[in-house]
Structure 1
């Protein structure tokens, strides 16, 4: 199976939202509203068009990922980072490496664009394969109660989180 990964365009928006809805339909830790989050993020100042990616097989849309701007702040400073959310693959294509390929491509592009780090709230057994580690390792905290092993960070540039201390501030679009 040959997977093509490309940047999402405005023409893709409805299909993408359908993919996201189907991908999370039976997910255990989901409110089944991730498609609305994607739409809100696209219409916000945190949206990075180059980091909204579609996965295709034989011209069929089968997956989508999005990385958006995020802030880590403390009393003295703000640090820009990215949020990886959501990662969506149609159920019939899950567990075939498609999500991994999309994530790796998204991380590659993010690094190429000059971003230094990424935050993810996700499965503690899945995301470490990409280099994610508990964010607490860098004194980075979630703004809500979450298991330490599920709230992770990744340095896209070695040492980029070494001096970062603070709490992640998610944009309002994540909470609407």
Structure 2
């Protein structure tokens, strides 16, 4: 997405760095350590789906390179999807892994299709989840169909040996309506 480079990078913050912190119901979603896929599936009463938008090798954003500990401008696998409930996009997810770590790792993100990466990461006990960070996600980084200012997002890094997969999830207004949360 060429327009994405123009966005001011967000400040990703831990729960301790958020002052003031979000309301309890919102914070419960942002900092939940469990599988977001499972939580969305339950909320959607099994009417959950993953819709791939874009995936392939591309230069990673500067903030992603920093989080993954790779040089700025490194190539990586980028996967962008909607996590949908009742046919509505509830979450925009962007997952990235550096090419240098992904090749030879045995993980082929290109084969996921409409399956959830989160389910894969949570079902493989070799992956450990790093700290969750949150921000207000830059609108230019979102697909035009869901572009909105000031949407809450979270990210965390899943690690298995030398492989790190950075997963960012942007919570869309339709999710908050379905979950009855004021965002």
TM-score, normalised relative to structure 1: 0.28
TM-score, normalised relative to structure 2: 0.27
